[in-house]
Amino acid sequence: MAAPPRPDSIALLDRLVAALEAKGIVTEAEIAARQASTDKASPETGARMVAKAWTDPAYRALLLSDGKAAAEQMGVSMAGAPPLGVLENTPGRHHLVVCTLCSCYPRAVLGYPPNWYKSFAYRSRAVREPRQVLAEWGLNLPDSVEIRVVDSTADYRWMVLPMRPAGTEGWDEARLAALVTRDSLVGVAVPAAG
């Protein structure tokens, strides 16, 4: 758990906010609104995006070509966020998202990153030995499946569009979204129908 902020840090932040407000750059209310938006973001948003892509070919095309626009179409504000790339898993290719430097993560559509995603062990091992890391998560992919590790950065964030599980034909978006987990949205898991 992080240590509480020091009083001098809080005072410095207050002076910064006051200076930004005085210059008309941002208001305290806008900062509070953005924080509230970030706090309510969760993996369910990404799951709804995936479920819509599985059932709507036009939305799927938008999601794969412009993740930010696709998120905004689902009511997610992406103002000030870096571009969102969406990587489509296929029978021959599986994507694994990592941030090798810190914890860059598409918070607007997935919420806060889990602690394991920020850990040095995951950040380094996912790049060096992705197949072994996935196996430790219980995901054993055939050797014929290429694993592509993609680095999320401060300039570009990534999310995975997992393959739709077999046996889900005719399911509505809500039922499909319930299959999609945060872990499948970064590639350490895959959705399963049951």
Active-site residues: which are they? Answer: 99, 102-104
Phi and psi dihedrals of 41, rounded to 5? Answer: -65, 145
Residue 50: partners with Cβ closer than 8 Å, 6 or more residues away: 161, 162, 176, 177, 180, 185
Q: Report yes or no: 185 and 47 within 8 Å, Cβ to Cβ.
A: yes
How far is the C-alpha of 126 from the C-alpha of 96, rounded, in Å? Answer: 8
Between CA 49 and CA 64 the distance in angstroms is 11
